[in-house]
Chain A
Amino acid sequence: MATEQVISNEARQEIEQLFHHLPHKQAACIDALKVVQKYNRWVSDQALQELAPILEMSPHEIDSVATFYNIIFRRPVGRHVVYLCNSVSCYIMGYEGIYKALKEKLQIDFGQTTKDDRYTFLPIPCLGTCDHAPAMIIDKDLYRDLKPETLDAILAKYE
């Protein structure tokens, strides 16, 4: 019985456009994983199987790449990903208080997703905005100079 395709035709077309400027298809592996994630939020086993013939790689080879990188997800994530910087400048400037406050507000710890599928909470290395520590990114939006009391308003923007 044929399973339903998880990589949409739209995503497939976008992947095929990546081969431009590259000498072989394997070189587009990381960008292809990003495209899958853009449409599906994460990279499932089924997605690896479907990517393999497109990239002319084995699913296992693709998996070895997918599992190497911080922000390619091989497990489902929520609608929004909260990345809290845990590197040194944020550590000095009050990361611990923000971490505790977020843990309390989201009712989850790092690596977990809220039951309503709304947020996934992850630590992330230095976001390169150390003059405005502590900092976090939600999806693609950067938040700086964080204080525990400003977190509610920020989180509320993400349904």
Chain B
Amino acid sequence: MERPLTEHIKQDGTALSLKEYEAVGGYQGLRNALKMSPADVMNAVKDSKLRGRGGAGFPTGVKWSFVPMGDNAPTPKYIVANGDEMEPGTFKDRLLIEGNPHQLIEGMIISAYAIGAGMSFIFLRWAYHEAADRITRALQEAYQAGYLGNNIMGSGFNLDMDLHTSVGRYICGEETALLNALEGKRANPRNKPPFPQVSGLFGKPTIVNNVETFCNIPHILAKGAEWYISLSRSEGGGGTKLYGASGKVKRPAIWELPLGTTLGEIFEEHAGGMLEGYQLRGLLPGGASTDFLTPDHMDIKMDFESVAKAGSRMGTGTIIVMDDKTCPIGMCLNLENFFAQESCGWCTPCREGLPWTAKILLALEEGKGKPEDIDHLTFQTHYNAPGNTFCALAPGAMEPLQSALKYFREDFDEHINTHRCKYHN
């Protein structure tokens, strides 16, 4: 089983230096790309069926193809890596950045070449201090070696790259909010259209991709689209995927596996199943903003279509496991407190609806719930549904709640009927 993104990441936890990265084939993808036309590079990425790894799963090559090209296209164009990784329960991009920062940088250079960008930013969340240090060092190495700057490897292509470490807020992971943060503003999302590909950072054509997405690009250019597709076990996309698990499992970690590996394989073989004394109650398959799945869903493939068919989303692919000693209402309260706090406050359903939701859940946990609270919570899941809010934050916040109401309804009723939470006292 091939693991192109992680196979060279060192076990001792230190980052691959430029020399070490080059020794295992690093920057070969860039060498190949610079011998091709930008259009051919874009086509190679389209052919690879790479889909965005940030959660939405949009085909990467198609996203790039909306960028205006040719001599009359606005300049400068920008490439931005979304390394905000603030989705609770998600810790995959940290591994990629800390383990092999050059892989990310190479992916961004190739992407910049494909769309004709002259400037690029890595947007990194503030908490990743170690990652920030390693990126800074890697950028210095890349400049010194001529992979960044003017006339990259004699190709005539110029690109600069800077690191921006953020100052918090989950909403920065939304790509247009991220662009506002990069412009030094409040990170409220922007209206779409215009899409960032046409009018993004400082009003110029911009591509924002997730860190993991960029890390796939060097391998596609080094080994070809056909090879890349062959890595996947999914009809709906090429390549491997970083999956992970946290919660009361035997081996919480991140694993690079073929896209489309089943939930059961990830949970049993890789995470090792539950710790002694705990049973699996449910899980969020791809971060805090995805619907619960249950032990009945172990046969589904972890790819975009299969998880959607089961009523959830693959999201970031990092599973949060809920055991039988964790209160589902308490877990929902924790999640809704997070979303309520992190709402940017721009639109009413989200700004008002999420704190309201959290208050009801707190009342249930404190034994003060009333039967009509179930209707209120159900109302919130509709009130904050897609189409009613400015961005995807509030609809995402409703995903764990609406599925908890479906799968763990008896727990809600018990809290109301017995006026207490049996998990806490």
Residues of A near any B CB (own CB < 8 A) = 21, 23, 26-31, 33-34, 64-65, 68-72, 83, 86-89, 91-93, 124-133, 137, 140-142
* Given contacts A27-B182, A65-B184, A92 and B320 within 8 Å (CB-CB): yes
Cβ A126 vs Cβ B248 within 8 A: no
Segment from B29-37, B122-130, B369-377 that makes contact with A: B122-130
Q: A27-B182, A71-B126, A131-B253 are in contact. Are A93 and B89 (CB under 8 A)?
A: no
Structural contact, A92 and B182, CB atoms closer than 8 A: no
Chain B residues with Cβ below 8 Å from A88 are 88-89, 284, 288, 320, 331, 334-335, 338
Kindly list chain A residues whose C-beta atoms are within 8 Å of the C-beta of B168. Answer: 69-72, 124-125
Contacts of B244 in A (CB 8 A): 130-131
Check B164 for interface membership: any CB of A closer than 8 A.
yes
In the bound complex, CA of A83 to CA of B168 (Å): 12
Residues on B with beta carbons closer than 8 Å to the beta carbon of A70: 167-169
Interface of A (DSSP majority class): mixed
Contact A33 B167 (CB under 8 A): yes
Say yes or no: A131 contacts B91, CB within 8 Å.
yes
Q: A88-B288, A92-B331 are in contact. Are A127 and B127 (CB under 8 A)?
A: yes
Q: Which residues of A contact B58 (CB under 8 A)?
A: none
B86 within 8 A of A: yes
- The answer to whether A130 touches B318, judged by C-beta atoms less than 8 angstroms apart, is yes
B342 interface residue (CB < 8 Å to A): yes
Q: Could you tell me if B91 and A128 are in contact, using CB atoms closer than 8 angstroms? A: yes
B323 adjacent to chain A (CB < 8 Å): yes
The answer to the question of B209 belonging to the interface, with a C-beta cut-off of 8 Å to chain A, is no
Within the assembled complex, what's the spacing in Å between the Cα atoms of A140 and B129?
6
- Contact A126 to B185, CB < 8 A, known contacts A21-B119, A137-B127: no
Interface string of B323-341 (1 = CB under 8 A from A): 1001000110011011001
Q: CB-CB < 8 A to B330: which residues of A?
A: 91
Residues of B within 8 A of A71 (CB): 126, 167-168
Q: Known A28-B184, A126-B89; judge A87-B94 contact (CB<8 A).
A: no
B390 to chain A, nearest CB (A): 16
B167 contacts A29, C-beta separation under 8 Å: no
Interface centre among A29, A69, A141 (most CB of B within 10 A): A69
Contact between B94 and A129 (Cβ–Cβ < 8 Å)?
Answer: yes
| Cβ–Cβ < 8 Å partners of A72 in chain B | 167-168
Given A29-B185, A70-B167, A87-B288: A128 touches B125 (CB 8 Å cut-off): yes
A92 touches B186 (CB 8 A): no
User: Closest chain A residue to B94 by CB distance?
Assistant: A128
Q: A64-B186, A68-B187, A88-B89 are in contact. List 20 more A-B contacts (CB 8 A).
A: A26-B183, A26-B184, A68-B186, A69-B166, A69-B167, A70-B168, A72-B168, A87-B334, A88-B331, A88-B335, A92-B322, A93-B248, A124-B168, A129-B91, A130-B318, A131-B91, A131-B253, A137-B127, A137-B129, A141-B129
- Mark B87-104 against chain A: 1 for CB-CB distance below 8 A, else 0: 111110110000000000
Q: Which listed residue (B127, B128, B164, B166) contacts A124, Cβ 8 A?
A: B127
Measured CB to CB, the closest approach of chain A to B287, in angstroms, equals 9
A72 to B165, CA, bound (A): 13
Q: Please give me the residue from chain A that is nearest to B170 by CB atom.
A: A125
Q: Are B184 and A30 in contact (CB under 8 A)?
A: yes
* B residues near A28, Cβ cutoff 8 Å: 184
Give A29 to B128 CA distance when docked, in angstroms. 21
Nearest residue in B to A132 (C-beta to C-beta)? B252
Assess the A125–B86 pair: CB atoms within 8 A.
yes
A142 and B133 CA atoms in complex are apart in Å by 14
- The minimal Cβ–Cβ distance linking B323 to chain A, given in whole angstroms, is 7
Q: How far is the CA of A138 from the CA of B205 in the complex (A)?
A: 39
**Smallest Cβ distance from B110 to chain A, in angstroms?**
21
Interchain CA distance A131-B92 in the complex, whole Å = 10
Q: With A29-B184, A88-B338 as given contacts, are A130 and B167 in contact (CB-CB < 8 Å)?
A: no
Residues in chain B near residue A129, CB distance under 8 A: 91, 94
CA distance A88 to B287 in the complex (A): 9
Q: Are A30 and B94 in contact (CB under 8 A)?
A: no
- Which residues of the partner chain A approach B341 to less than 8 Å between Cβ atoms? 125
B254 interface residue, CB < 8 Å from A?
yes
CA–CA, A127 and B128, complex, Å: 8
Q: Does B247 belong to the interface (CB within 8 Å)?
A: yes
The smallest C-beta distance from A40 to any residue of chain B, in angstroms, reads 15
Alpha-carbon distance A72/B254, docked complex (angstroms)? 31
Chain A hits for B299, CB < 8 A: none
Option from A30, A126, A137 in Cβ contact (under 8 Å) with B86: A126
Decide: A31 near B164, CB < 8 A? Known: A65-B186, A88-B335: yes
A91 touches B318 (CB 8 A): no
Instruction: Give Cα distance in the complex from A108 to B172, angstroms.
Output: 30
A94 to B: closest C-beta gap in Å: 10
Query: What separation, in Å, do the CA atoms of A93 and B320 have in the docked complex?
Result: 11
Residues of A within 8 A of B342 (CB): 125
**Which residues of chain B come closer than 8 Å to A69, judged between CB atoms?**
166-169, 187
User: Quick check: is B174 within 8 A (CB to CB) of the other chain?
Assistant: no
Nearest B-chain residue to A65, judged by Cβ: B186
Give the chain B neighbours of A86 by CB distance below 8 A. 334, 337-338
